[in-house]
Structure 1
Amino acid sequence: MTSLPTEMTAIEIAEPGGPEGLRPTRRPLPQPGPGEVLIRIAAAGVNRPDVLQRKGAYPPPPGASDIPGLEIAGEVVALGDQVTSLHQGQQVCALVTGGGYAEYCVAPSAQCLPLPQGLSAIEGAALPETFFTVWSNVFDRGGLKAGEAFLVQGGSSGIGTTAIQLAKAFGAKVFTTAGSAEKCQACKDLGADLAINYREADFVEAIREANDGRGVNLILDMVGGAYIPRDVDLLEPDGRLVFIAFLGGPKAEINFQKVMVKRLTITGSTLRARDIGFKAAIAAQLQTQVWPLIESGQVKPQIYRTFPLEQAAEAHALMESSAHIGKIMLTVAAQRS
């Protein structure tokens, strides 16, 4: 095996604020502890929590790397003690609590999954953050069942494109919102039964019209703000509303009598701070329930654009523009040949 370097290139947040605060630096090579592996990164995903961390609004949990980046793919190059499920040279993708914007990253072995057959490292790195989030919130916490009506707000995002495909694959009727005709068409191409341009139509009215006057059973909302009371209006009795972000703000005035009369469940979650045991359980479910769908081509990560690692600032600027459809990725120089 090729000897490992003592240092690596990484992207640090030199100062909180705009994308220009992301700068290449040299860091010591991280060392895997018990139950961990060291991964030579080929690609990493760019996600909204990375943007929030860069702005100083989402600090890493205790013990996590200050380097941004929550999902990676690459080759296992070193094993910590007590690792028996992986081997050196194995191609994996992994969910991490930080450190992904780098040439190497340590990951708990329980949060690593084999790279699905037929996928590139870039496609593999696009899986962990969105697929863990969607599975745990839509199917685990939200309890989506075949035949139910499901709405994902922001269908053209990485989370949205994943949620549309998985909900459809498991037999739900899928509605979504997006901000342009192009984005709406992309959502329909992925299987959405109806995609509503929120700039031109009221999603509550549009869905009721398309769904024989009925609302939906489950909503995955990353917008919040003014959408919250409208979500409550749209839910059917025993409906569930799950929040994973608040791009439109976390506060709203709602009529809780509707919540009570319709027996609604309002909940939400964050993923990054959850313990390894929780994430390991999600990883196991993904491998058995979702990986076969990916390997068969029924579900596929949607890659919008890739940037070299050194251009992380440009990748963040693109994410904040919201011009993308699907995932924005970073690739590592040593793996791009």
Structure 2
Amino acid sequence: MRIAVRAAGVHLIETAMRAGLPIGPPLPELPAVFGGEVAGTVESVGPDVDPAWIGADVVTPASTSGGYAELAVAELPALHRIPVGLDYPAAAAMIVTGTTTIEVLDIAALTADDVVLVNSAAGGIGRLIVQHARNIGARVIGAAGGRAKVAAVDALGADLAVDYNAPDWTDTVRQAFGDRAVTVVLDGVMGEKGRAAVDLLANGGRYVTYGNASREAFEPDPEKLREQGITVIDALSIMLAGSRAVRDEESRALAAAAEGRMVPTVHTFPLSAAADAHAALENRATTGKVVLVP
């Protein structure tokens, strides 16, 4: 099916692939069109597809031709109709980033009794995690970089929003929460910020990683983990290795956004400014999910 693209998602990992960094996934052969998730309108269909799909508003995580384009091609089984009330950029934001968030949250198994610290809380996944944690009644600390991002996290309803670029940010957390220590860290940054977050964990806490935006190596001290009974959970490895009901999780993510339970913040760039979008991501100058709009 051919889709007239109205919004296409951008990921930090694509900036690393563009730069040729050895990040795990095989690098594409050049020339290449980056991007997978697109939202738009079905323009035409193949010979074995019901023509009633033409004109439908759809979103897919897996355009086979690349998403940074005005037109994209996807197989019918990979399509979802966009729920009523969800626009194209929000649908593009949720179909992969939202689905990943759903999977991370399933793995983290947060409860109302948790005190949750979210690193990179102003990012695409972080903002959704903050909303979910608030919805279930957990106490939430959102850590982000810079005044504007901290204000954005505070506006989401976090119990405490802190600037993790400040040298004393962990002291701020300890002072604010007193004897209610952090029980769960959800970390998409790792590096030194991850190390600082682990130091805030209570005995028996959980350190759940879902990315390494810092591109800094970090392994928690095994002795500290043993002494405090802290569990380290690599959510991405679990997702890649396990049996996943991906289509169901995609539907859950789209429904959560359409119903207002997890609302993505979208930072849009024109398709012609894809290079600017990559630069902004690399410089950590974006808030929420980055989306290209043709």
Q: Following superposition of structure 1 onto structure 2, how do residues 235-254 of structure 1 map, counting pairs within 5 Å? A: 235-252=201-218, 254=220
1:143 to 88, 101, 109: 109
Indicate how the Cα distance of structure 1 residues 248 and 318 shifts in structure 2: closer, same or farther if over 3 A, else same: closer
Paired with 2:124 and 2:187, the residues of 1 have a C-alpha distance of: 13
Q: Spell out, residue by residue over 1:82-118, the C-alpha distance to the aligned partner (whole angstroms, 9 max, x if none).
A: 989x944332222228711123334455554331322
2:154 to 184, 188, 192: 188
Q: Following superposition of structure 1 onto structure 2, how do residues 52-67 of structure 1 map, counting pairs within 5 Å? A: 52-57=16-21, 58=23, 61=26, 66-67=32-33
Paired with 2:15 and 2:228, the residues of 1 have a C-alpha distance of: 36
CA contact (8 A) 1:217 1:239 kept: yes
Give the TM-score normalised by the residue count of structure 2: 0.83
CA contact (8 A) 1:176 1:194 kept: yes
Once the 2 structures are TM-superposed, how far is the Cα of residue 119 of structure 1 from its aligned partner? 2.1
Give the TM-score normalised by the residue count of structure 1: 0.74
1:316 to 245, 253, 278: 278
| Partner residue in 1 for 2:42 | 76
CA contact (8 A) 1:135 1:282 kept: no
Query: Is 1:48 aligned to 2:12, yes or no?
Result: yes
| Partner residue in 2 for 1:11 | none
CA contact (8 A) 2:190 2:212 kept: yes
| Partner residue in 2 for 1:34 | none
Aligned partner of residue 191 in structure 2, secondary structure: coil
Paired with 2:82 and 2:227, the residues of 1 have a C-alpha distance of: 46
Indicate how the Cα distance of structure 1 residues 331 and 172 shifts in structure 2: closer, same or farther if over 3 A, else same: same
| Partner residue in 2 for 1:287 | 251
Sequence identity (%): 32
| Partner residue in 1 for 2:185 | 219
| Partner residue in 2 for 1:30 | none
- Kindly indicate which of the two structures has a greater share of residues assigned to helix: 2
Paired with 2:289 and 2:25, the residues of 1 have a C-alpha distance of: 22
Once the 2 structures are TM-superposed, how far is the Cα of residue 237 of structure 1 from its aligned partner? 3.1
Task: Specify the code of the residue in structure 2 equivalent to 1:181.
Answer: R
| Partner residue in 1 for 2:199 | 233
- Structure 2 unmatched runs, 5+: none
Indicate how the Cα distance of structure 1 residues 215 and 116 shifts in structure 2: closer, same or farther if over 3 A, else same: farther
Aligned partner of residue 69 in structure 2, secondary structure: coil
Once the 2 structures are TM-superposed, how far is the Cα of residue 201 of structure 1 from its aligned partner? 4.8
CA contact (8 A) 2:63 2:72 kept: no
Indicate how the Cα distance of structure 1 residues 274 and 91 shifts in structure 2: closer, same or farther if over 3 A, else same: farther
- Structure 1 unmatched runs, 5+: 1-36, 333-337
Q: Spell out, residue by residue over 1:50-92, the C-alpha distance to the aligned partner (whole angstroms, 9 max, x if none).
A: 11111112475599994211321112345679989x9443322
CA contact (8 A) 2:134 2:157 kept: yes
Indicate how the Cα distance of structure 1 residues 276 and 103 shifts in structure 2: closer, same or farther if over 3 A, else same: farther
Once the 2 structures are TM-superposed, how far is the Cα of residue 170 of structure 1 from its aligned partner? 3.0
| Partner residue in 1 for 2:291 | 329
Indicate how the Cα distance of structure 1 residues 283 and 201 shifts in structure 2: closer, same or farther if over 3 A, else same: farther
Paired with 1:169 and 1:81, the residues of 2 have a C-alpha distance of: 45
Once the 2 structures are TM-superposed, how far is the Cα of residue 43 of structure 1 from its aligned partner? 0.8
Indicate how the Cα distance of structure 1 residues 204 and 60 shifts in structure 2: closer, same or farther if over 3 A, else same: same
2:260 to 297, 320, 328: 297
Q: Which moved more, 1:141-150 or 1:53-62?
A: 53-62
CA contact (8 A) 1:110 1:276 kept: no
Q: Spell out, residue by residue over 1:260-281, the C-alpha distance to the aligned partner (whole angstroms, 9 max, x if none).
A: 233322122448x949962xx2
Once the 2 structures are TM-superposed, how far is the Cα of residue 297 of structure 1 from its aligned partner? 3.0
Q: Following superposition of structure 1 onto structure 2, how do residues 1-40 of structure 1 map, counting pairs within 5 Å? A: 37-40=1-4
Indicate how the Cα distance of structure 1 residues 317 and 232 shifts in structure 2: closer, same or farther if over 3 A, else same: closer
| Partner residue in 1 for 2:91 | 124
Paired with 2:186 and 2:151, the residues of 1 have a C-alpha distance of: 20
Aligned partner of residue 126 in structure 1, secondary structure: helix
Indicate how the Cα distance of structure 1 residues 70 and 208 shifts in structure 2: closer, same or farther if over 3 A, else same: farther
CA contact (8 A) 2:2 2:45 kept: yes
